[in-house]
Amino acid sequence: MALAETPFAGEDTARPAPAPPAAAAAPDQGRILDPGFNLTLRPMRYPQFFDMYRDAIKNTWTVDEIDFSDDLVDLERAILPAEKHLVNRLVAFFATGDSIVANNLVLNLYRHVNAPEARMYLSRQLYEEALHVQFYLTLLDNYIPDLSEREAAFAAIDNIPSIRQKAEFCFRWMNAMDDIDRCDTPQQRRQFLLNLICFATCIEGLFFFAAFAYVYFLRSKGLLNGLAAGTNWVFRDESCHMNFALEVVNTVRAEEPELFDAELGEQVTTMIGEAVDCEHQFAEDLLGQGVPGMSVADTRRYLEFVADQRLAQLGLPKQFGAKNPFSFMELQDVQELTNFFERTVASYQVGVEGDVAFDEDF
């Protein structure tokens, strides 16, 4: 998803312009970041957000649908110790990460998005984040039978340094909104944008997407199909969450292009670079015991590849020029993920409409 045509001030305007933005609200209707809680759904100012809400409702699944029985056999008989370490770290991060996302959603995003149709989507997203937490809770309960190890995994933010570092990155870039009750000034609105962009591109769009790659790597070896099946569904949700957040950014950019100055562009580029470094250190932890077929160096290139996609979605220059080193991401059976919006999905309770493409998001 591209942002509005207006480039960040000071950028090279010779670069190809992103796709046109969605229609913005008429001047007399206010702007999406104007303080307050508009309750008027008709006439609807931003129908694209209502469409996203309706698609999200169709995109319904439950944790009870996932069969973990084969996973337990794999963990007992097929998986290597280094791979088990990877899995334990991974699900510990997932449980922590979605809780951070849910808290930010409630405390820092919902109250500043002044469009009832957009808040409808955010309400649905909060439900989905809780569902993800339930999924990872179930994973930890099934994967880690030792109670003390399980408790340590749930407290990962306190006792696993690589996960604590990721959490500290999130708080550093997002917590500045904690003391802002109203986005009255341009500086406050830029701070909101930094929060939202970190939320969308670094946490959901980089940290989670890197985690998905570990899951699909294991699936490429025939391991942990239950985890992979649940991850397919989480992937769909997270893709929609990221697209919604970028559409909010797109809308703000169309309504208030002056906010997107060179300083904001530099801050976002720095933020995404820091996210790559942070996730690289997490990769060193996950892969540090030597996982056959997956190296830290390749993971770094993959992170840089994803980061470039996020920068491009924001209309910013790519910084790394990296290519996707993980062929398994392209060779995996992605039937459930590719064009899943265009048909009814058998493994879902209901179908969804739209597009998800690996070459864009990964």
In a domain, residue 135? The reply is yes
Check if 136 is active-site: yes
Q: Does pLDDT of 329 surpass 80?
A: no
> Domain tally for the chain?
1
Please count the other Cβ atoms lying within 10 Å of the Cβ belonging to residue 341: 18
Residue 16, in any domain of the structure: no
Q: Residue 227: CB partners within 8 Å, gap ≥ 6? A: 68, 71, 87, 139, 215, 218, 219
234 lies in some domain: yes
Instruction: Look up the CATH number of the domain holding residue 286.
Output: 1.10.620.20
Tell me which residue range forms the domain holding 338.
Answer: 51-361
25 in a domain, yes or no? no
What was the pLDDT predicted at 301?
Answer: 97
In a domain, 343, yes or no: yes
Q: Hey, what are 72's tokens? A: 């337990």
Each residue of 66-85: pLDDT tens digit?
A: 999 999 999 999 999 999 99
Kind plus residue range of the DSSP H or E element containing 243: helix 225-255
103 has a pLDDT exceeding 50 = yes
Q: What is the mean pLDDT of the chain?
A: 85
Among the listed residues 46, 121, 136, 143, the single catalytic one is 136
What gap in Å lies between CA 171 and CA 150, rounded to an integer?
24
- What pLDDT shows up at residue 145? 83
Tell me what pLDDT residue 237 has. 94
Task: Give the per-residue pLDDT at 57.
Answer: 94
Residue 29 maps to a domain: no
pTM across the whole model: 0.84
Question: Is residue 40 in a domain?
Answer: no
Tell me if 7 is assigned to some domain. no
Give the pLDDT confidence of 256-292 residue by residue, as tens digits: 999 999 999 999 999 999 999 999 999 999 999 999 9
**Dihedral-angle region of residue 23 (phi above 0 means left; psi in -120 to 50 means alpha; beta otherwise):** beta
Q: What is the pLDDT of residue 8?
A: 63
pLDDT of residue 202: 97
Average pLDDT over residues 113-118: 96
